[in-house]
Amino acid sequence: MANKATKKINKTPDKRMVAVIYARVSSKEQEKEGFSIPAQLKLLREYAAENSYEVTEEFKDVETAKQSGRAEFKRMVDFLACTPSVRLILVEKTDRLYRNFKDYVTLEELGIEIHLVKENEIISKDSRSHAKFIHGVKLLMAKNYIDNLSEEVKKGLNEKAEQGSYPCGRLPIGYLRDSQTGRILFDPERFEIIKTLFEQYSSGKHSITSLHQLAKSLGLRYPKSGRVITRSEIERMLKKIFYTGKFRWKNRIYQGDHPAIVDDVLFQNVQRVFKNKLKPTYNTKDFAFSQFLGCGNCGCVITADIKKGKYIYYYCTNYHGNCSREFIREELLADRLGQIVKDVQIDESMRSWLDESLELALKKKSEKAKMNRDRFAKRLQKIKAYIDNAYMDKLEGKISEEFWLEKSEEWQKEITDLNQRISECDNEIPKKYELARKAIELAYRAYPLYLRQTPKEKRRLLDSLLSNCTIHNGTLCPTYKKPFDILAKRAESNNKLGDRDSNPDSTVQSRMSYHWTISQYLYLLSANHPIILNESAYHIL
């Protein structure tokens, strides 16, 4: 005699039974293979009508790469838990209902009867052990399929990352994805604003709050929603390595195939500003040189205080408790710091010589940059012609869709690279030249400016020249920023040769050393694009 618990699906139903329908798809491939939500609902509704079941609710889960989880399954479980009159679920087959064994136990504890329509089977708490066993095997097979699918997806994403393609779907603000090729490109309305925010914050003159105000004034909004970027999003953006052309995936950094909005140097400068802003602050009473110096004896910070109501003295905080704590008046300290500025000063003849050398270097490099730009522009026109011709061939059926996608992706990558190179030709040379020119002007005017400035203005000037400075027994030991360290070494060398200037050979050696040092100065200023001085410049005295 047949067991009632293992009834066949076409039994005579109880007219009063109320059911819910559950349908699910987990990928686009399943849509193509006929497992779409509409197809499942059609099958289950027809089954309910044939068996006179009253369908009170329909729950539909659609899982995609962008949105995982089963919100509707959870909602169905909550509905069944709160509705004792409904104990029947209609579902297409086992792997549509469960993703793990926990789902099976949850429904079993609720006493739910499950109709697997395509498998022509009913499972309930009264089912025979053999039927439950077969159902469990199917459940494990469904779980194995899901696990295997997950492994393949992870493997594909890891391989994508290894090849330099960003595996995540959502892109940071400032980038767009080409709908045809899938390539990541600059957002033309926003990437310049992003670069400006990085540059402004790297100066150290902005807080996140003031930078947020700047972003709003520049009109930085999300492209789809139009929402204004928030303060916390500004901070996360400045820490995101994606803007350097790289990306982080599974705790590793990969070199991406997307264009960089900022270079590595600018990004690291921004991170350095973040790190410095985390340092503890002290009550400095707004003294000009407080926290500027370090104690050469114990390494503590030099602070300041007012004595007798009008004299400002600087002294070691003696945090470690073992320092002699020498005191120095602000006027005397300012004079000694002035000598530090004076050591990097250049005279009028040297400034003229450097300006002429820069002009020659700029002219030579600009001519070369123009030649390169023309070459890149011609290649760019060729690539665009290739794309136009290939697209017409695709429309006429002369080439396949696969070939078109492959070649267009390759050409788009080259177009991005060529545009980047053209931009460098247009911008890098003037930028480097302006940097060198300003540094030369600063070296020429630094000391006269220092003498006329207030203590606070002197402090700002010193910050632009020095990266560190300590004081020990009244002697200052500065560490200059590049390229001013080269000029300071030149001054030190000249002082050592001062007594031997009456010797002609010594004078020539000193001048050669002087000009050689300045050539190093220009080299360092130009960073990744060294400025090569005209040979005749070395003979200018």
Residues 6+ apart with CB under 8 A from 387: 408, 411
Q: What is the pLDDT of residues 184-229, one digit of tens each?
A: 889 888 889 999 999 999 888 888 888 998 898 888 888 888 888 8
What percentage of residues in the chain have a pLDDT greater than 90? 11
pLDDT at 25 over 80: yes
Mean pLDDT across the chain: 77
Over residues 478-497, mean pLDDT:
69
Collect contacts of 375-378 with beta carbons under 8 A, ≥24 apart: 376/418, 376/421, 376/422, 376/425, 377/422
pLDDT at 463 over 70: yes
The model's confidence at residue 505, banded by pLDDT at 50, 70 and 90, is very low
pLDDT at 516 over 50: no
In this structure, of 239-243, 347-351, 435-439, the range with the lowest mean pLDDT score is 435-439
Which range, 101-105, 175-179, 349-353, 535-539, has the best average confidence (pLDDT)?
175-179
The model's confidence at residue 509, banded by pLDDT at 50, 70 and 90, is very low
pLDDT at 115 over 80: yes
Q: Which residue has the tokens 């195939």?
A: 257
pLDDT of amino acid 18: 92
pLDDT of amino acid 350: 79
3-class secondary structure, 205? coil
Over residues 2-22, mean pLDDT:
59
> Looking at the whole model, is its pTM more than 0.85?
no
pLDDT of amino acid 22: 94
State how far the Cα of 379 lies from the Cα of 381, in Å rounded to an integer: 5
3-class secondary structure, 388? helix
pLDDT of amino acid 432: 67
Over residues 496-517, mean pLDDT:
44
Q: What is the pLDDT of residues 256-293, one digit of tens each?
A: 888 899 998 889 889 988 887 655 444 445 688 877 88
DSSP letters, 136-168, are HHHHHHHHHHHHHHHHHHHHHHHHHHHTT----
In this structure, of 142-146, 391-395, 508-512, the range with the lowest mean pLDDT score is 508-512
Angle at 285 between CA 283 and CA 291, to 5 degrees: 65
State how far the Cα of 41 lies from the Cα of 22, in Å rounded to an integer: 8
The model's confidence at residue 532, banded by pLDDT at 50, 70 and 90, is very low
Residues 6+ apart with CB under 8 A from 384: 415
Q: What is the pLDDT of residues 52-71, one digit of tens each?
A: 899 999 999 887 544 445 78
pLDDT of amino acid 488: 75
3-class secondary structure, 463? helix
Number of Cα atoms under 13 Å in the Cβ half of residue 253: 7
3-class secondary structure, 123? strand
pLDDT of amino acid 55: 92
Q: What is the pLDDT of residues 344-374, one digit of tens each?
A: 888 888 788 777 877 777 777 778 888 888 8
Residues 6+ apart with CB under 8 A from 311: 329, 330
State how far the Cα of 142 lies from the Cα of 110, in Å rounded to an integer: 22
Q: What is the pLDDT of residues 164-173, one digit of tens each?
A: 788 777 888 9
pLDDT of amino acid 198: 93
Over residues 308-332, mean pLDDT:
82
Give exposure, 420-444, as e/b (b: 16+ Cβ within 10 Å): ebbebbeebbeebbeebbebbebbb
The model's confidence at residue 338, banded by pLDDT at 50, 70 and 90, is confident
pLDDT of amino acid 90: 94
52: left (phi over 0), alpha (psi -120 to 50) or beta: left
pLDDT of amino acid 495: 54
pLDDT at 183 over 70: yes
Q: Which residue has the tokens 């300012």?
A: 334
Q: What is the pLDDT of residues 378-425, one digit of tens each?
A: 988 988 888 888 888 888 888 888 888 888 888 888 888 888 888 777
